[in-house]
Amino acid sequence: MVVGASVNDFLQILSDLAVTVTYYQATNTQDTMYGQGTPTYGAGVSKTWIFFKRGSKIDLAKFGIVDNGDAYVLFPTSDSLYYGDRVAINGETFEYTPDCFNSDRYANGVHMFRYYTLKLVAK
């Protein structure tokens, strides 16, 4: 007998561990003279994601989280983060930067969830 993995397995974990965060999508405009971008942020959108800060007492390794970051988010495959996007929770703001890591996690060939590290940018 084969027991298969399904996305519902992650959705059950999400329902157990999720918190509400505020997600801000970044839009970068390019300065034609200097070539540097200036980010602007859209209105915050509430998302229900799993969120951990570094130093959490939860054993993150069992979720496949072994990379260093100031915070970690896990969310359904229908969501995504792009460089410059921000996540705010409990008065702190975290950003997905080029120094951060992301990974799509699979179990038995099933795309289960997305995992991102974040950098603290404001308290």
Structure tokens at 35: 């070539």
* Whole-angstrom distance, CA of residue 7 vs CA of residue 110: 7
- Return the pLDDT at 107: 85
From residue 24, alpha-carbon distances to 7, 50, 81, 110 in Å are: 26, 16, 10, 28
Which of 4-18, 57-71, 88-102 is the most confident on average? 88-102
For position 13, what pLDDT does the model report? 87
Query: pTM for the full model?
Result: 0.80
46-82 pLDDT, tens per residue? Answer: 999 999 887 655 555 666 655 568 999 999 999 999 9
Q: What is the mean pLDDT of the chain?
A: 84
Using CB atoms within 10 A of its CB, is residue 53 exposed (0-12), middle (13-18) or buried (19+)?
Answer: middle
The predicted pLDDT at position 34 comes to 64
Residue 1 predicted with pLDDT over 50: no
